[in-house]
Structure 1
Amino acid sequence: MTKDVIALTKKMPDPLSVLAGLLSGGPDKLVGAEGDGALVRLHDERGRPLVSVEAPLLVQVRGEARRLLGADEPEVPYWWTEARATTGVAEAEALAGTFAARVATLVGGTAWPPEAARFLAVVDTDGVSAAPVPAAAQPAVDVLTDKVAVVIQDRPVVAMTAWLADAFRAAADAELGLQIVTPAGTRLSPAVRQSLPGWPSRWVVQDEQCGYYDGLSGAVLEWNNGLFVTVTSPEATPRDPRTPIAETFTRDIADTGERQLAVSFRCVHPADDRLVLGGALEAVWREITGEPPAGWGTEEPANLPWSLRGLTDVAHERSPEPTWFVVVGAPERPALATLRVTRTKGGVEEDVTLAFGYGAGEEPATEAVQRAAEALATRHDLQSMLVQIRRARRDLSVPAHFEGPGVPYAFVLGAEEVRSMPGDRARRTPLAEAPRELGPRTRPSLYYPLPGDPSDLSGWKDFEQLMRHLKGS
């Protein structure tokens, strides 16, 4: 099990110097102590890992510490330095807390969680030394079996940090599932929720009353044969598995009036060295909020100010490998997107999943949806787009209790897909309202209005009927 401690500072810290001061061996033991993702790892005389320290990250986007930690943050830009302590070893948490507290004291800033400041006192480091972290090491993985990699996180919001992203990639490369274990009350960033693959990967919540349960489905879980699996009722049959649902998952569910406007779309561009990526996402963002995105990154916290050129350069450097990005909005209007850029035979694909949050008394900007679709259809090689309205948190984080599904508000079919359908199939649908044409009249995309009432799930019947019709089934 691990414990995360973070220093938020105005000046760039020198972790090597701070660690050298903690260790009796002096700074010579830290020479060349660099790794892929983590900067250095401290271990004891028996070789047990105690603390892994990541290279400082310069955050230039407002609100990320508040969003992910619930913490006050220095004025941007500021430095974010993470240390992960192995809590299975008694002295590790104190060592990580001492490191973060000393960094904050030496260069000015704060340590998170606040109680980390109590570790400012001298810690006994006899027998502790530092070593380079090999490229294959995974500081985020706490338990590894032949079926899954288990990551235990104890923070308000599980974010797609560099370490967790490395764990996702390592598990996928090893053909293992990834199971994230958290205490009750922890939430997931949408970036983590969207990246979590299917079974045996899952979010496991440890609850004092219910034991373990799946944070997304509520299914009661148990550790069995090297992974967390669902508990099956004795009365279960193949047709009726009767998986018990944790009481905590469905307790005290009430409509708070909070809503999310969720938009997912795909654009397929001709491959061209002059192609600038991210323009489709920015166009939708501007139509919905009146502003561009605030920041982006290849991990969380999103640390870079919004830049189409910067995003394009990173994707170009990594091509032909796909590139994953997270994009965030200003704190005043919660918004978060994940963008995956992939080079395919058909060109360059941008897959976007985007959500905007609204509080009680705030109306989702549904009047801007058709304008956003028009922008994609006219200028950004739209393939398809789905818009939903959900009863869900304004801050967009994913809680470990039941949230109703979104309801379709609109579906858009790109011009090439419309053109490829036989006859008038795309225009003559079983829906009560005819589709609206978007983009050039000679090569239009089609916009299909749907009910979009989050209190009425029958909208999914209309959507499924439309999909069957368009597929010719």
Structure 2
Amino acid sequence: MLVHVPGEVQRLLGPHVRAPEGPFWWIDTRASSAHPEAHTLARSVCGRLTMLLGGSTWPSATTNAVGVVAVTPRTDEPTMCAPEAGSADDAAESAFPPLDLVTDSTAVVLTDRWLVPLTAWISSVLRAAARTDRAVHVVTPPHVRLTFPLRTALGPAPNRWVVHNPQGGYYDGLSGVPLAWQNGTFMPTADTPADAFTAGAAPTEQRQLTLAFRTVHTPDQRLVLGRALEAAWRHLTGAPPVGWGTAEPVNLPWSPEQLTDLARDRAPAPTQLVVVGAPDRTAIATQRISRTTAGVAEEIRLTLGYEHPQHVPLDALESLAATLVTEHGLTTMLATLRAARCDLAVPAHGEPPPVPVSFTLGPRDVRAIGRAVASRPPIDMRPRPVGSPTSPGLHYPLGDGTQPSAWAAWQRLGAHLRPPTSTPAPATPPPPRTCRRRRCPKA
């Protein structure tokens, strides 16, 4: 992958890793634990590439591995943390890139790097799992963290982040539920979070501000996508995004026009993207572009990190809502704030849940619900009109992100705004989930 985006080396490999000047080639070489010689072979490949082409490797010890490796043909099924794991048939397993384990219900990825991103390889595993009706379980030690894009990709059940518990066994890295290997997959064994999951949480001054918003556009040859996300980025950081791509590392310079071309080429299939900002201003977004009966929809989740609560620009949310309503076809936007790492890495322990800060309803849904009804919600704070005076959206303040009671207000607001027609109500972020069945139906 040819990477043009500055800062991706330090973001994904660590702040002390030296980055090349200008664009550079990024090559991932992965060793499957299903083959005893794979790790040595991968080190040899990386070492020889560095010797012939220059550059550097990570981890640095790989550089000296340039020997010839004899590979024994595989004669047995891969094993992992549990005995008698079971395996899928050859035809189904061949649908996946080389994995550590594939069973009838689950594709298992074992990894141990300090930060696990949504690489093109993991994206291909997720696609293959969806085609074959399997879950993807990423298994890591407890010190490992995930990037936000991978955390989002693993969020829908039955996918899981499985963390090895230092006290024995395993737990879900997103919900903390204890897990055990049963019948070829990881299954919950209790309802209460594991002690290792709750013990890692600690108070912090750092904050994460997340905007989950949706825009809808009329299909048109002149339509350029990505401008709503750029407007939000500029409004909150003072600069546009730096790069975009379909996986991590994010490799392309920011360009709404090129982003639109890719989405148009993939239509009517949806397009999932990752967007990053400058290294000195921590922000990352996922963007899903799809065709709907209403038009071309952009579903965006933008998260920004702040070292101190006073740095969070809560006072800028209403003016941002007005801009998105007026210029970018906003339908809904929910802003939440929580105490969590400002580097946006997802740790394998509990963090405080997000607290709603504000909600914006676009003009289309205001008309569908009725302005008189939408303007009188059963909460203490009154909405403020944003956008056109004749057909405004409504911006509902819900608090400053410090009152857990804001969730109750948000639930009352959501119930009040649920229209009597088929128009969907504002989406509420799902609580931590547990899946007790071996295989869950597709959403």
Q: How high is the TM-score relative to the length of structure 2?
A: 0.86
Determine whether 1:463 maps to 2:410: yes
Mapped partners of 1:255, 1:213: distance in 2:
22
Contact residue 231 and residue 244 of structure 1 kept, 8 A: no
CA distance in 1, matches of 2:73, 2:19: 32
Task: Note if contact 2:180-2:189 (Cα within 8 Å) is conserved in structure 1.
Answer: yes
Assess, with a 3 A threshold, how the Cα gap between structure 1 residues 128 and 100 changes in structure 2: closer, same or farther: farther
CA deviations on 1:225-258 (whole Å, 9 max, x unpaired) are 11000113xxxxxxxxxx2422211114222211
Corresponding letter in the other structure for 2:147: S
Q: Which residue of 2 aligns with 1:125?
A: 70
1:320 deviation in Å? Answer: 0.8
Is the contact made by 1:278 and 1:308 (CA closer than 8 Å) also made in structure 2?
A: yes
Equivalent of 1:101, from 47, 54, 70? 47
- The separation in 1 between residues aligned to 2:146 and 2:71, in whole angstroms, is 38
2:239 corresponds in structure 1 to: 291
Structure with the bigger percentage of strand: 1
Tell me by how many angstroms 1:104 deviates.
1.9
Quote the sequence identity (%).
45
How far is the alpha carbon of 1:465 from its aligned partner? Answer: 1.0
SS for the counterpart of 1:112 is: coil
1:83 and 2:29 correspond: yes
CA positional deviation for 1:360:
3.6
2:176 paired with 1:259: no
Amino acid at match of 1:105: M
Uncovered stretches (5+) of structure 1, i.e. residues with no partner: 1-56, 233-242
Say whether 1:393 aligns with 2:337. Answer: no
Q: Which moved more, 1:192-201 or 1:371-380?
A: 192-201
| 8 Å Cα contact 1:210-1:248 kept in structure 2 | no
CA distance in 2, matches of 1:364, 1:397: 18
Residue by residue over 1:78-109, the C-alpha shift from the partner in whole angstroms, topping out at 9 and shown as x without a partner, is 11011111234332212111211222232221
Per-residue CA shift, 1:245-276, capped at 9, x if unaligned?
Answer: 22211114222211011000000111111110
* Superposed displacement of residue 115, structure 1: 2.1
Structure 1: distance between partners of 2:211 and 2:381: 21
Matched letter for residue 143 of structure 1: L
**Structure 2 partner of 1:336:** 284
Paired position in structure 2 for 1:321: 269
Q: How far apart, in 2, do the equivalents of 1:284 and 1:124 lie?
A: 51
The answer to whether structure 1 residue 179 and structure 2 residue 137 are counterparts is yes
Secondary structure (helix, strand or coil) at the match of 1:321 reads coil
After superposition, the Cα gap between the structure-2 partners of 1:285 and 1:103, relative to the gap in structure 1 and judged at 3 Å, is: same
Unaligned runs of 5+ in 2: 75-91, 421-443
Alpha carbons of structure 1 residues 449 and 309: separation in structure 2 relative to 1, 3 Å: same
Cα distance in structure 1, aligned partners of 2:98 and 2:112: 12
Superposition map of 1:33-182 within 5 A: 57-70=1-14, 71-120=17-66, 122-125=67-70, 137-139=95-97, 141-182=99-140
Preserved CA contact (<8 Å) 2:44 2:69: no
Deviation (angstroms), 1:463: 0.7
Whole-Å Cα distance in 2 between the matches of residues 287 and 135 of structure 1? 47
CA RMSD of superposed structures (Å) = 2.0
Superimposed CA distance per residue, residues 342-392 of structure 1 (whole angstroms, 9 cap, x where no aligned partner): 011211000001100111476112122112111110011111000011111
Aligned residue pair count: 401
Question: Given that residues 384 and 395 in structure 2 are in contact (C-alpha distance below 8 angstroms), is that contact kept between their aligned partners in structure 1?
Answer: yes
Q: Choose which of 211, 223, 230 in structure 1 pairs with 2:188.
A: 230
The C-alpha deviation readout for 1:106-137, integer Å capped at 9, x for no partner, is 222111112212423x23337789xxxx9964
Other structure's SS at 2:28 match: strand
* Alpha-carbon distance between aligned partners in 1 of 2:22 and 2:116, rounded to the nearest angstrom: 22
Which stretch of the first structure deviates more once superposed, 94-103 or 376-385? Answer: 94-103
Partner-residue secondary structure (3-state), 1:393 = coil
In the alignment, the residues of structure 2 paired with residue 208 and residue 127 of structure 1 have an alpha-carbon distance, to the nearest angstrom, of 33
